[in-house]
Structure 1
């Protein structure tokens, strides 16, 4: 058994907090708890911090495995400030302009920028009759940002009365309407409808079923910009680890938690898969909420988040991600920028196959990440590093995709799309290569059904209806990360730690060690 007594300068015992998972939600939680006076230990089964935001380097190419876009950077600045630190002194964050380009099979495109004037010009170029509707959409997005993000997203929603109080506002903002339906109510051009409604795909949600509250992302991007951290999100994770260690905290890698322990009806610590017992005053799980309840609390009777209830949840999409380097391509494809969204021939039909039918379609839409145009250090001189992502079904359908059989075929189909539409000649220049399928998300991140972003953010799986930041199953257990409130994405997981900081009292030294 580990001796978990931590001693303050005056000899008093400092309360111990254990954090399961070194994703950005877990690291942010550790920083918040360290600032409150807890002695924190973070445990993660991977070989480096960052969780889904970690990276793998092969032959000089750094593959950023997860999130590639940083929005609402003030959340990180506020987190650092709560720890008495300066985020911008620790992380080199670069604003991008344009943010990304959306392309359609007919050759048309839509370039997304921060300037409202530039965006209105893009709308007018594609569909001038839709300009008044676009202006209304921007106002709609701002209202939902103010309520859905700055209000609900930054406070706990674990009490039923919290839900009751906000129901009238939800009704007024038509939270029952989907993102896609709201876009369709404002603009007619199908390309604009897609451009204004696709954002839930960034967090694994179906735009035709995710609540229209998520149109707030359009305001979030316009107001605060889209950024890239030099060194990738891995650089942010590494900077977070430095803060935690400076606070006296500890990061333990290559160790997996097997169970949360209970004593006298409250959390007592945890046990690792190696059999080590670690005691604690509080435990914070940054593991997927589904994994936390079905695996880590498997021996504890649960009232709300039973196995049966979790099985009935609707889960976010799976992801097929191809990471690869290319040789001598720095000056090739000059019109292919940092972020590109390449649409296939179908929008709603493809999403229906992915989210409702669980079918791997022959057609695909792709997100192309080319960080080497902003961060040359991601690849050897003269080369490029790419990350190409396709949204695919998760593994929870009755006849899940067998990726061992389908993976190479699907990657070959992706190659053909890239060659024909945006990157002619790239295939013969491919160097180091790595593919992640939903099976890898299941095995590497312990994600139920290999889902990319935990529980899908539908209206009855959001706010009060989502696993709470303070667990009702076990006193002393807290949850952060994509599967809890407010949800997935960098702003969501960092905000979950902010909510945690408001729920957990400051550490009170107890007696003398």
Structure 2
């Protein structure tokens, strides 16, 4: 049970002599940052405008169906285990992970399919079944992926990149690994079958990136999945967030939910605390923002900015795509649709053309590709007995394009198109079994999560928006301000967000009691 704190609590009083630190946002990045700071001896207060922890990993329940709103999988469990270890605890004492096998199935309109798993031989067999001539190219792709994982995640992704010299030193390696190529162009160099090109290149969509333009460093995900597996947390990703909040409270930290930060306050060139939406202020010499990096610099840090100016963020920054997500429950279907596993990817008739519509043209296309999540096959707690809980996710343009989508008008008609695709390709007769429903659009991401332009994953991870070019974990704008989360280094996705707090931990000094 989480203990909530009155927003008017004075952080400067009481017998606790640890120096105070404030974390804005109780998403995974903020919670991980709070755990790291608590382990370093800070008295941490986490503030979030939602009524529960988890941020994008929060949930809602309707008619007995729990709809987990955000991440559905855990791909690098050791980043969580290392986080817990830093606090003197064991992750597996708090969270129950279930390994998924297979990871997911990809389907194409021609009836062909590809089943992804952790077995190298099984994956090679899938490649050979679809396109025997591409087997050697697939083997080369796996080796490429492993090299990029070692450099891109275990090296760059787990240390600060806030100094230009850090970038200059690694430029030769970037060149050797051809980071200038896109994920899709790299896949095309290894395999000829267009279905395999898609299967090896779509992963950047999980972190908001366009496979046609995101740096090929992100092919590391293929190795990451194979090496560490794909897992589901029983109780959903929100169960991990609750476990993180429990650790924070065990460390003597505090949670202030239903409380919005309107401003990061400063005293000269140093951070001084935060001002809440009701006008009250809380003082601390160390503030960590897990709010979207764009929102942090556009809205809450009101002093003059040197690098992350309003002009740069509004007109020179490329943002990730938006998401349309339809959450729905079904009645009496637990024995139906045996072909629909935990994760299924349904491809539309176009791949590159659809990506171009989403990321470049900002056009809501009539066709779509869907990521379908059916957690009830793994976690009975998400639905009443005999029923199912699903979500269907469609990448769509963010709201920053010319003539953005009016989701107040389009949401229901688009939902009907999603339902038609599901009934035709995966869930026949779906309409006869629907019960509870919920929809999130880019407009909801903008209002619920304060995401600029309703982008689902903050700043797009293109090469000139990654590493040193991305918002740093230690702010260059004001002393004492740090940033974590999807919009900062190393980037979006659970491993990246948790790693951003690890980087924070390397930058913040040990606390000294007053």
Structure 1 and Structure 2 fold alike (TM over 0.5): yes
CA shift in 2, pair 1:29/1:371, >3 Å: same
Structure 1, unpaired ranges of 5+: none
Q: For 1:71-86, what aligned pairs fall within 5 Å after superposition?
A: 71-86=75-90
Structure 2, unpaired ranges of 5+: 1-7
Q: Distance in 1 between matches of 2:108 and 2:325?
A: 21
Alpha-carbon shift at residue 204 of structure 1 (Å):
1.1
Q: How far does the alpha carbon of each residue in 1:389-422 deviate from its partner, in whole angstroms, 9 at most, with x for none? A: 0000000011000001111110001111011111
| Residue equivalent to 1:87 | 91
Q: Distance in 2 between matches of 1:275 and 1:233?
A: 33
Q: For 1:68-467, what aligned pairs fall within 5 Å after superposition?
A: 68-298=72-302, 300-311=303-314, 312-467=316-471
Q: Secondary structure at the match of 2:154?
A: helix
Matched, 1:28 2:8: no
Alpha-carbon shift at residue 265 of structure 1 (Å):
1.6
Q: Distance in 2 between matches of 1:339 and 1:270?
A: 41
Q: Distance in 2 between matches of 1:256 and 1:3?
A: 16
Alpha-carbon shift at residue 6 of structure 1 (Å):
6.2
Q: Secondary structure at the match of 1:439?
A: helix
Contact 1:34 1:40 (C-alpha < 8 Å) held by counterparts: yes
Contact 1:5 1:14 (C-alpha < 8 Å) held by counterparts: no
CA shift in 2, pair 1:128/1:264, >3 Å: same
CA shift in 2, pair 1:60/1:12, >3 Å: closer
Contact 1:159 1:464 (C-alpha < 8 Å) held by counterparts: yes
Contact 2:12 2:283 (C-alpha < 8 Å) held by counterparts: no
Alpha-carbon shift at residue 264 of structure 1 (Å):
2.9
Alpha-carbon shift at residue 59 of structure 1 (Å):
1.1
Q: For 1:493-508, what aligned pairs fall within 5 Å after superposition?
A: 493-508=497-512
Q: Distance in 2 between matches of 1:205 and 1:69?
A: 18
TM score, norm. by length of structure 2? 0.98
TM score, norm. by length of structure 1? 0.98
Q: Distance in 2 between matches of 1:403 and 1:61?
A: 25
What is the count of residue pairs matched by the alignment?
506
Q: Secondary structure at the match of 1:150?
A: coil
